[in-house]
Amino acid sequence: MRKTKNLNWADVTPRADWINRRALIAGAGAALGLGALPAAARIAAVPSAYSTDATPNTLKEITSYNNFYEFGWDKSDPAKYAGQMTTDPWSVEIGGLVERPGSYGLDDILRNATLEERIYRFRCVEAWSMVIPWIGFTLASLLDRAGVQPGAKYVAFETLHRPGEMPGQRAGGIDWPYVEGLRLDEAMNPLTILATGLYGEALPNQNGAPIRLVVPWKYGFKSIKSIVKITLTEAEPRTTWKALQPREYGFYANVNPEVDHPRWSQASERKIGGGLFAAREPTLMFNGYAYQVAGLYAGMDLAKNY
């Protein structure tokens, strides 16, 4: 299994490149919900040993090909409509089996966070993938602040429910709000982050502003966006996709090339941005993060616990 390599800021994408890229897409900025951010808006973050050395997708790819069903079913809907979502003020209610339950304001969360850049592979259950340079902090650090009680075994997350700003929530299909969950040891794993930015700037709305989960060894649907609630529970939470289609989407949803989705193979993936004729790439066990996370599932039948 390949280990990850430590990277410097400069290794990611030279800053001038980002700025040029941003200038290029400035015309589309409003549609992308990006706006032209001044240099002061750039987020200072330290590089991480957990970053992959794979080349990140472009900002344009990351912000224009999205799944965020609160804004529609098409990959281009989030970039079109997520600008309607108000993300300031924002707070996250942390409750359930914690010592210090309450409403944690985003400013307060960020003031107490050590922001890192994490360049992660991202693999959607639909068999496409990207490489994304997130800015974020460990979920463990926030849960430690709230104080996890001994009885807690799972963490449930909820997305904003605001049909007035989210056209997809006015349509049917999903029992809103979107809910996801992790086992507590998965939540505490150092790879699990809450992202608040990408490419060194605040997270665009379509990517789950202002704060979203990123769990790089699991299919993308676990990485819930625009989180307003985190609850520590004893029982496995009822999660959106598992509740909708339990045979197709399990609670674990670990990336696994050997366990196919009932309707398609998971053995390979299409890298976004690779072009029409690019060969599919083999999917890696735990999306390439087996070295860090395989131990969490020792002794478990991964075909049953999919």
Binding site for ligand MTE (CB under 6 A): 66-70, 124, 159, 178, 207-208, 220-221, 223-226
Instruction: Report the residue number, 120 or 221, with the smaller CB distance to ligand MTE.
Output: 221
In angstroms, what CA-CA distances link 221 with 1, 76, 104?
Answer: 25, 17, 24
Nearest Cα to Cα of residue 145 among 192, 92, 98, 96: 98
Instruction: Report the residue number, 124 or 255, with the smaller CB distance to ligand MTE.
Output: 124
Alpha carbon 82 to chain centroid distance?
16
Question: C-beta of 147: minimal distance to ligand MTE in Å?
Answer: 26
Instruction: Report the residue number, 45 or 124, with the smaller CB distance to ligand MTE.
Output: 124
Instruction: Report the residue number, 148 or 252, with the smaller CB distance to ligand MTE.
Output: 252
Question: C-beta of 149: minimal distance to ligand MTE in Å?
Answer: 26
Question: C-beta of 215: minimal distance to ligand MTE in Å?
Answer: 10
Question: C-beta of 91: minimal distance to ligand MTE in Å?
Answer: 17
| Chain residue at closest Cβ approach to ligand MTE | 220
Geometric angle at alpha carbon 89, from 86 and 95, rounded to 5°: 110
What is the DSSP code (8-state) at residue 148?
A: B
Q: Which residues contact 51 (CB under 8 A, 6 or more apart)?
A: 4, 5, 6, 7, 117, 118, 119, 120, 133
Helix (H, G, I), strand (E, B) or coil at 176: coil
Instruction: Report the residue number, 225 or 271, with the smaller CB distance to ligand MTE.
Output: 225
One-letter amino acid for residue 20 of the chain: N
Question: C-beta of 248: minimal distance to ligand MTE in Å?
Answer: 12
Instruction: Report the residue number, 116 or 158, with the smaller CB distance to ligand MTE.
Output: 158
Question: C-beta of 305: minimal distance to ligand MTE in Å?
Answer: 20
Helix, strand, coil content of the chain in percent (nearest 5): 30, 25, 50
